[in-house]
């Protein structure tokens, strides 16, 4: 394969802060970046393939580091119930909520799961996403958790996007079950080891919450993950503070996600462990939460902040990474730089992909988003407008 040169690029490499440099060239070979800098610093070859970026803003391909895009059905009926006054927790306790998505997902074939997720994935890709995390957690039994994870892998192959899977068996008690510890036994002894052996699990996630699982139950799942050599991450402190962030940090978690109710001890533990804080403004907005995550504390302790769609049928039916940035800025008061880093470098960190993704630098995968925009701020400030010009994934458009 000849080398490709993306010339005349106004790049925001996101390697340090948000600085933009004009007139840059990015060289790509075999899917990787081999040079970044002014064009005259590069010795050109006769067979270089030159792509003119026309002075456009070029950022790393965006990373959506927390999604549940593989699921069947939707929960628009519950949305109506919530509009009429029911709470998310009331709906969950009366057999709706996650359980209703579990029933629909179990009834779908792997092919149907791929087909229903594709339009959601395509919406994200159309906004420059080149890497996406996809969780299981609506199967809650071996066969359907497997189908979800296999569907996630299939989506990656079908669209040439980097997919990282997270096994979220500890998402909720399966419909009809009553014994949380017995279900966690099954997750630990059957589901997780089997699916990991099948190569379907890149990381292990859990939902630590009153309506889901206790820190003790999550710790049992994390112990198995650790034995299997798999990194962990956790839905922590979304609706209440159970000490999930500190628990995740104890296991060296890649990320702790949501964090509306995290306290200083949790933040301190995350900082010490290098755990990324993944903020999910879509869920906060959709549930009309009033307690925002403690961004000032995260900054004070230097915890890296990522942001993601949390695309899921119950609490964040959001398929726009651009709108996610706007929401993080507007609702959580993140700066433009924090928003951009949150969907690039720090999102890569939340997936354990810092070595290959999240910035425009030599040695990284050549994942780029080329924008009809002049400044990074334009990507954050608009609502519902997509200025993507083109998207390059591993060197390919």
Which residues of this protein are in contact with Fe ion, per CB under 5 A? Answer: 310
Residue range at the interface with ligand DI6 (CB under 6 A); choices 41-49, 196-204, 310-318, 337-345: 310-318
Question: How far is 325 from 59, CA to CA, in rounded Å?
Answer: 14
Q: Residue 42 or residue 239: which is nearer to Fe ion going by CB?
A: 239
Its sign, for the CA torsion 380, 385, 387, 393, is: positive
Q: Residue 238 or residue 357: which is nearer to ligand DI6 going by CB?
A: 238
CB of 101 to ligand DI6, least distance (A): 5
Q: Looking at 6, 167, 183, 207, which residue binds ligand DI6 (CB under 6 A)?
A: 207
Q: Which residue has the tokens 């799961």?
A: 113
- What binding mask, one character per residue, do residues 160-179 give for ligand DI6 by CB under 6 A, x or -? -----------x--------
Q: Residue 82 or residue 220: which is nearer to ligand DI6 going by CB?
A: 82
Residue range at the interface with ligand DI6 (CB under 6 A); choices 32-40, 224-232, 308-316, 367-375: 308-316
Q: Which residue has the tokens 């083109």?
A: 390
**Which residues pair with residue 32 across a beta bridge?**
29, 365
CB of 238 to ligand DI6, least distance (A): 6
Q: Residue 26 or residue 113: which is nearer to Fe ion going by CB?
A: 113
CB of 312 to ligand DI6, least distance (A): 5
- What binding mask, one character per residue, do residues 99-128 give for ligand DI6 by CB under 6 A, x or -? --x---------------------------
Residues 6+ apart with CB under 8 A from 25: 5, 6, 7, 8, 9, 35, 36, 37, 38, 39, 42
Q: Does 319 bind ligand DI6 (CB under 6 A)?
A: no
Question: How far is 269 from 275, CA to CA, in rounded Å?
Answer: 8
Give which of 27, 13, 98 is closest to 60, Cα–Cα. 13
Residues 6+ apart with CB under 8 A from 346: 276, 304, 305, 306, 358
Question: How far is 321 from 281, CA to CA, in rounded Å?
Answer: 11
Which of ligand DI6, Fe ion, none lies near 120, with the C-beta cut-off 5 to 8 A by kind? none
Question: How far is 50 from 68, CA to CA, in rounded Å?
Answer: 38
Q: Residue 240 or residue 397: which is nearer to Fe ion going by CB?
A: 240
Q: Looking at 13, 60, 61, 97, which residue binds ligand DI6 (CB under 6 A)?
A: 97
CB of 97 to ligand DI6, least distance (A): 5
Q: Does 312 bind ligand DI6 (CB under 6 A)?
A: yes
Residues 6+ apart with CB under 8 A from 376: 12, 18, 20, 57, 59, 336, 337, 340
Q: Looking at 315, 344, 357, 365, which residue binds ligand DI6 (CB under 6 A)?
A: 315
Question: How far is 167 from 97, CA to CA, in rounded Å?
Answer: 19
Q: Residue 287 or residue 366: which is nearer to Fe ion going by CB?
A: 287
- How far does the chain reach from its first CA to its final CA, in angstroms? 15
Tell me which residues touch ligand DI6 (CB under 6 A). Answer: 97-98, 101, 171, 207, 235, 238, 283, 310, 312-315
């Amino acid at each position: 394969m000849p080398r490709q040169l993306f010339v005349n690029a106004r790049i925001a490499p996101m390697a340090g802060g948000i600085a933009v440099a004009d007139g840059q060239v990015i060289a790509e070979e075999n899917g990787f970046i081999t040079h970044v800098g002014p064009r005259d610093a590069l010795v050109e070859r006769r067979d270089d393939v030159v792509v003119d970026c026309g002075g456009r803003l070029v950022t790393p391909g965006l990373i959506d580091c927390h999604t549940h895009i593989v699921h069947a059905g939707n929960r628009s009926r519950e949305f109506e119930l919530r509009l009429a006054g029911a709470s998310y927790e009331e709906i969950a306790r009366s057999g709706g909520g996650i359980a209703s998505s579990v029933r629909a997902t179990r009834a779908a074939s792997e092919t149907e799961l791929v087909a229903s997720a594709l339009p959601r994935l395509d919406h994200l890709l159309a906004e420059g996403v080149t890497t996406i995390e996809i969780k299981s957690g609506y199967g809650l039994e071996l066969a359907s958790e497997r189908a979800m994870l296999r569907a996630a892998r299939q989506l990656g192959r079908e669209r040439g996007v980097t997919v990282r899977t997270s096994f979220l068996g500890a998402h909720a008690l399966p419909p009809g079950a009553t014994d949380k510890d017995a279900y966690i036994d099954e997750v630990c002894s059957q589901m997780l080891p089997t699916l990991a052996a099948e190569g379907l699990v890149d990381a292990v996630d859990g939902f630590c919450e009153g309506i889901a699982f206790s820190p003790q139950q999550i710790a049992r799942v994390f112990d198995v993950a650790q034995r299997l050599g798999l990194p962990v991450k956790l839905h922590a402190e979304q609706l209440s503070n159970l000490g999930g962030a500190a628990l995740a940090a104890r296991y060296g978690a890649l990320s702790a996600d949501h964090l509306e109710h995290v306290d200083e001890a949790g933040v301190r533990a995350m900082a010490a462990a290098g755990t990324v804080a993944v903020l999910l403004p879509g869920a906060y907005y959709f549930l009309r939460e009033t307690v925002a995550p403690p961004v000032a504390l995260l900054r004070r302790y230097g915890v890296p902040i990522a942001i993601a769609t949390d695309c899921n049928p119950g609490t964040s039916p959001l398929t726009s990474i651009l709108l996610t940035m706007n929401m993080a800025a507007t609702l959580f008061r993140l700066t433009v730089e924090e928003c951009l880093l949150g969907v690039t470098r720090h999102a890569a960190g939340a997936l354990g992909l810092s070595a290959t993704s999240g910035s425009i630098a030599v040695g990284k995968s050549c994942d780029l988003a080329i924008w009809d925009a002049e400044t990074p701020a334009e990507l954050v400030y608009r609502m519902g407008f997509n200025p993507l010009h083109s998207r390059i994934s591993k060197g390919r458009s």
